Structure formats: structure tokens, C-alpha cells
Amino acid sequence: MEKKAVFTMKMEINLALLGLTLASFVLRMWRLEEPRAVVFDEFHFGKFINLYLHRTFFFDIHPPLGKLLLAGTSYLAGTNASYPFERIGDEYPCDLPIWHLRLLPAVCGSLLVPLVYLVLIEMRYSDWTALSAAGLILFDNALITQSRFILLDTILLFFTFSALLSLLKFRQIVRSFSLSWWLWMLSLGVTMTCAVSVKYSSIFMVSLVCLIVAYDYWQLIGDKSLSLKTLLCHFLARLSLLNILPLLMYLGIFYVHLSVLSKAGPHDNQMTSAFSASLEGGLSLITRGQPLFVVYGSQVTLRHTHNHMCWLHSHPQNYPIMYESGRGSSGQQQVTCYGFKDMNNWWIIKNPGSSFIGVSDPPKQIKNGDIVQLVHGKTGRVLNSHDVAAPVLPHFMEVSGYIDYNISMPEQSLWKVAIVNAETEGETWKAVSSHVRFLHVNTSQYLRVTGQQLPDWGFYQYEMATDRDVHQDDNVWNVEEHQYVAVSENGDAVVHHPQVEPSDETKVLNFWEKFIELQMKMFTKNSEIQLEHRYRSAPLDWPLTQRGIAFWIQKDSNMQIHLLGNPVTWCAATLSIPVFLIILLTLVIRRRRKCQDLGEGDWNRLALTSVVLLGGWALNYLPYFLMERTLFLHHYLPALLCKVMLLAATWEWIYTLLLRSFIQRHVFTALVVVFVSAVLAAWLNLVPFTYGHTALTAEEIVSARWMDTWAFLVQR
């Protein structure tokens, strides 16, 4: 009797996939430590790594996962976090483990090649089609360059397309609620969350994935063979792993981020006073022990709470009598919003019913709805508004300082205190935690920052004005620094009021309060990025890689690194979009006319290609036309991967649908071989700019330009 094996194992090795993966690692890891100098945005992310290692708070518009992973790699590599990462081109010291710091982006960039191969295989395309797409990604200069430095984009791409692969794997599983079914759904939820937690731009692809998941569940609802109990189980499974788990993960990532960054740092001023005071050191040392309740006679600094980092400010200079446009002003003292701490930021909260400007005994607390005057501490002028056009935005009213607040139309200097968060902070005005609006009594307008910078006569500080619109963040303020004072009889000595007990308790924001504030600040700042940059580009420049980015140049030669895509691949992939659309529309029309060109399986594959690849390209590209922020070529990389896969898929559709004869197919194959040769030639042409390992002459640099818009650097 033949014995049966108790345990057997069968292993299959895909040599094509293995070869692609090894080649990808070689091309992206080769000379990874070179150049030993700061390259492009490495000086940003290098600083973030140092701040993580020092546990010092910083603000960035991107979610923290990518930076946390880079900081974790740096910690494991034993980085001492002393190198400042000040300027592009600065040399790294010998003891900085730059190879280790660049390792994670390089690994993620290397894995993109097998990911592309596997995605097309899961979409039921042939091995040759998947191999073609992966090969084009393998030899794309932009993806190689972006993979080799301390940057977030390849980490983002890895998680985004891992989520796409997980979705396709999940959809292929026939047996619901099996182990593999649960594992791939779990993988989908985790990778989607990781993608969004690296950069918010991944939301385009994640939204597409979620729509496909929702469509699949809608199809399940239409299946009468499934019971309501089964449908409910499907719903709860998706709710748990694709909604609740991602939300908990996202919150957990921010919890780790905020827990690590517990100390005050250079970016505290980006956040509200309450947030800054919750960090160790910094503002917490200033606000600890200061009085809690604002009273008549309080000396305060008033900080703008939401959109702009500045303090209500005045200085001895007056507005120009006549502006360049020909409009006149009041000629009174300038009132601005200044972005730095300064003695001219201090104001006295005065009782308009009294000439006394100190704290009374006992102090009289200010409540929601009370009327106050704001006296500038250094110049003694009172905050005022009137029917005079603001200097930059004339549809608002000017804010100024009276020369003497005791004379001439005192009603123009009266302000009503409106506590915005009175429901949570109470009806009494508190330092730091109370958010207030100031209603100008005479004009019924609110004190606000316009966001416009004044000309040189206003020292380029922010314009202040009043506006009737109450429901906006630009008119919300809070008291940051606060002290009680009393004025001596001769009027020139200031002493601490002896009968006032300062508060030793500074309110510490909990995680939820910090999280919500940080999220709102990130969304606001992301849309406001408007930088003048030599290498910024517009979406129309991206499909043909018309404008690149200078990453680095050696100080004493023309050895340089320039972010540019493989022009042959990028142009051909762009051309494939209208070709695929023509094929798609033709087949749809013929199907409508009852022409059975494709079986049901091929129709499903064509529909999936249209949604995932064509739709993925559109969702990752077209929204940038609506954005006013500064954009660069690397914003196009997610769309690039989609259209390269679409190019390979289009080849297969042309080969199987349009080419019938033996000769046609051989001619087409020959053209593909010529195209691949052109891709390799273009890649080799740009290799010196991809790795920055070759010193070129000025003539060689000029000859390497395929387009006049390629702005290579030349040092003569």
C-alpha cells in the first residue's frame, strides 16, 4: 500500500515578475547614497525627521504617516538629528546615514514595478501586456529619480496601488467570508488608510476604489439568491474593515504623531494659542500663572485665531494722506496684524465709562456682550473704525488709532465683545481659551484681518478692516498673553495688582481638540499654498513631461539631477488615451447595434479597464485644473501609472480586435519592439540627469534637451 505524504508544499516562481523586481531594485538602489548632499525637498523632510527625534512640534500640510515612517527609519539607523538640512546642495557629513534615510522611498519605488504587473494580471490581461507596462515603469526616469531621495511620493504611490491590487484580489474571490476574502478586504482597508495618511492627494484614487466597492455591494443587493441576513453580513463586514477600521487607524496615526511631538517648537505660531500653550515649553511658560479672566484694565495681546498667524498691532506711523490710487485716508495711526511677537502688540482693555485705564479694586470681569475700548499700550491711541475705505480693499472700512481717545466722537471707539465659544467656555471672557469677535458699535461691523499685505509704508503687514459679515473665521480673536496692572498716582509707574490671584492652571487641550484644530489648519493651508517657484508647472505641462524640476547641481561642475519623465513613454501613453476612447466608443456603439464583438468576460474586462485605468487617470489629473495652489511635475505621477497601464492594455485590445492576419500582427510586434528600443534610448539619454553621476559639458547638456522647455542648469 502506497503511503500518502502528510505534508506537501508546491512552489511556483514567476521568473518574469522576479526579474522585473530585481531589476527595479537595482535601478533604484544603485548609488543610493549619492549625491551626499541635500536634494530638492530633502531639506524639508530632513528637518521633520530631526523634529520627530527631538519630539518637537512642527506643522505640515501633509498627514504624518510618511514622515513617521521616515523618522522611524532614521531612529533605527541611529541618526543623531544634529544636521540642520538648511539648503539644497549642502554636503552631508560623513556620520549621517543618508543611505538608510533614503532606503524606504527607494524600496517603495522599487515595488511599484511588480505592483503594476500584478494589477494588470488581476485585470485578466496577458503576461506580455503586464510585462510591457511594468517594463515602462521600470525605465521611467521620473519614477527612478523620485524613488531615490527622502521624499513621500513613492511611499504614497506604493500604498495607493497596493490598495488597488487588494481591491482586484478581493473582487476575484468567489467564496465569500473565506479566510482569503477577509484578508484581502483587510488589506484594502489598511492600504487605503495608509495612502490617505501619507498625502491627501491619494483621495482621488481611494474615492474610485470606494465607488467600485459600493457598486459591487449594490450588485449583491440585486442578487435574489442572497438572503437579507447574508446581505447584512456583507454590509457589516465592509462597514467594519473599510470604514470603522480605517477611521480608527487614521485617528491612531495622528495620536502617535501628537504624542511624539509634545514639545514646543518653531511652528507653534501656526496653531492657536490654546494649542501652543498645551505643548511643553514655549507659550506654556509664558501663559502659566497669568490671570485667567479678562477684566477692565487688563493688558493683553490679541491673536488672530484661525487663518492667519498674526497679532493685532499698531505703531506710531500714520496712514498716507493719499494712496497711489488717488483715494484719501483718515491720516490716523496705522492698525495692522503683525506676524511676530512685539511690544506694539499690547493693548489695554478700557472701560468706556471711566477715564481710568488700570485694573479696579475689585476687578470687574468682562462678559459676553459688554462694551469695551482698546487702547494701544505703546502709543495710547484707541482702536477706532469709521466710514473711510480700507487702504487695500476699499469695500471694507478702515481701522485706525485716535490721537486722543478722550476727545472727538468717542462712539467710534466702542466695541462689543461677542464670545464665539461661550457654550463651552462660559459667558465670562477668558484668556487663551475664549474666542471673541469685536463688533464696532457705531457701524455694526466686525474687526477682521483681510489677508492682504500693506505696501512698504505699512511694512508689508496684514491689513486690518471691519466687515458686516459675522459668520467667518477672519474676525475671530483670542487673548494670548495677559496681565493685570495698576497705574500709580503719578501715572507713569506700573505695578502688579496685589489683590488679584493669577491662575496657575493652563487649560491643556485633549487629543480630540488638537486633532480637530490640526485637521482644519492642514486643509486651510493646503489650499493656500501660493509660491513663486522657478520649476512650478501647470497641468497642461505634465502629459508630455514638458517641464521638470532641478533637484540638485554640484557646486563646481554641471553634474546635476533633474526630474523628468521618459518622454517616449509619456507621449505614447498620452496618445493611448484617445485611442482607447475610440476603441471603447466603437465597441459600445456596435454592442448597441447588436454586434457581438466581445464575450461577457471581455466586456467586463473592458468596463473595468475604463473605470480603473481611464477613470484613475482622469481622477488623478483633471482636478488639478481647478486648483490654484502651486503645482509640480510629481503631482502627475499617480495619473502616470494609470495611463502607462492603459497604454499596455490598449496594445492588447488593438492586437486582439483589429489585427486579424499573421502579417498584421508581426508588423505590430515589430513596431512595439521599435517603441521599446526608443524607450531604452530615451532612458539612457536622461540617465546622467537621473543619477547625477556624470559631469557633462555645456554642449552635452544642450544636446540632451528634447524640448526647449527642459530647463537644465549650465555652469560655464
Segment 356-397, tens digit of pLDDT:
888 887 888 999 999 999 999 898 899 999 889 999 999 999
Residue 504 scores a pLDDT above 50: no
Residue 633 scores a pLDDT above 70: yes
Cα angle 485, 486, 490 (rounded to 5 degrees) comes to: 135
Structure confidence at residue 403 as a pLDDT band (50, 70, 90): low
- Other C-beta atoms lying within 10 Å of the C-beta of residue 691: 20
CB 617 within 8 A of CB 639: yes
Q: DSSP of 419-445, one letter per residue?
A: ETTHHHH-SB-BTTT--EEEEETTTTE
Residue 354 scores a pLDDT above 90: no
pLDDT, mean of residues 275-294: 82
Closest CA to 537 of 524, 551, 547, 525: 547
The model's pLDDT over 481-492, given as tens digits with 9 standing for 90+, comes to 898 876 555 544
- Other C-beta atoms lying within 10 Å of the C-beta of residue 34: 14
Residues 349 and 377: their CA atoms lie apart, in Å, by 10
pLDDT, mean of residues 109-118: 97
CB 64 within 8 A of CB 58: no
Question: How distant, in Å, are the alpha carbons of 299, 302, 330, 514 from that of 400?
Answer: 19, 16, 8, 35
Structure confidence at residue 81 as a pLDDT band (50, 70, 90): confident
Residue 554 scores a pLDDT above 70: yes
The model's pLDDT over 521-531, given as tens digits with 9 standing for 90+, comes to 888 776 666 66
- Other C-beta atoms lying within 10 Å of the C-beta of residue 582: 11
The model's pLDDT over 313-350, given as tens digits with 9 standing for 90+, comes to 999 999 998 888 888 888 899 999 998 889 999 999 99
CB 545 within 8 A of CB 142: yes
According to the model, what pLDDT value does residue 18 have? 93
Higher pLDDT, 568 or 95: 568
Length of the chain counted residue by residue: 716
According to the model, what pLDDT value does residue 536 have? 87
Whether a cis peptide bond, with omega within 30° of 0, leads into 63 is no
In the chain, % helix, strand, coil (3-state, to 5) comes to 50, 15, 40
According to the model, what pLDDT value does residue 557 have? 85
pTM of the full structure: 0.87
C-alpha cell at 687: 540617465
Q: How many CA atoms lie within 13 A of 35 on its CB side?
A: 26
The model's pLDDT over 635-655, given as tens digits with 9 standing for 90+, comes to 999 999 999 999 999 999 999
Supply the angle between the helices 637-653 and 567-592 in degrees, to the nearest 10: 50
Residues 515 and 522: their CA atoms lie apart, in Å, by 10
Spell out where 78-122 has E strands: none
pLDDT above 70: percentage of residues in the chain:
94
According to the model, what pLDDT value does residue 271 have? 83
According to the model, what pLDDT value does residue 266 have? 78
According to the model, what pLDDT value does residue 374 have? 93
CB 447 within 8 A of CB 464: yes
In sequence order, which ranges of 462-504 are alpha helices (DSSP H)?
Answer: none
Higher pLDDT, 25 or 493: 25
Residue 613 scores a pLDDT above 90: yes
- Other C-beta atoms lying within 10 Å of the C-beta of residue 668: 15
C-alpha cell at 386: 469709521
Question: How distant, in Å, are the alpha carbons of 314, 346, 467, 486, 526 from that of 381?
Answer: 9, 12, 22, 19, 38
pLDDT above 90: percentage of residues in the chain:
64
According to the model, what pLDDT value does residue 53 have? 94
Residue 502 scores a pLDDT above 70: no
- Per DSSP bridges, beta strands 311-318 and 333-338 are antiparallel
- Other C-beta atoms lying within 10 Å of the C-beta of residue 507: 17
Closest CA to 294 of 345, 353, 355, 370: 370
The H-or-E segment that residue 371 falls in is strand 371-376
List of long-range contacts for 673-682, beta carbons under 8 Å, 24+ apart: 675/568, 675/572, 676/132, 676/135, 678/568, 679/135, 679/136, 679/139, 679/566, 679/568, 679/569, 680/139, 681/568, 682/566, 682/567, 682/568, 682/569, 682/706
The model's pLDDT over 34-55, given as tens digits with 9 standing for 90+, comes to 999 999 999 999 999 999 999 9
According to the model, what pLDDT value does residue 291 have? 87
Higher pLDDT, 9 or 418: 418
Residues 278 and 262: their CA atoms lie apart, in Å, by 8
Question: How distant, in Å, are the alpha carbons of 1, 263, 394, 438 from that of 513?
Answer: 73, 17, 37, 24
pLDDT, mean of residues 530-547: 86
Structure confidence at residue 410 as a pLDDT band (50, 70, 90): low
The model's pLDDT over 444-455, given as tens digits with 9 standing for 90+, comes to 999 999 989 999
3-state secondary structure of 333: strand
Backbone angles phi, psi at 103, to 5 degrees: -65, -45
Question: How distant, in Å, are the alpha carbons of 322, 375, 569, 577 from that of 117?
Answer: 68, 69, 16, 20
Amino acid residing at 180: S
Question: Mean of the per-residue pLDDT values for the chain?
Answer: 89
Chain centroid to CA 300: 34
pLDDT, mean of residues 204-228: 94
Residue 466 scores a pLDDT above 50: yes
- Per DSSP bridges, beta strands 371-376 and 415-419 are antiparallel
According to the model, what pLDDT value does residue 336 have? 95
What's the DSSP call for residue 474?
A: G
Amino acid residing at 11: M
Structure confidence at residue 284 as a pLDDT band (50, 70, 90): confident
According to the model, what pLDDT value does residue 281 have? 81
Residue 408 scores a pLDDT above 50: no
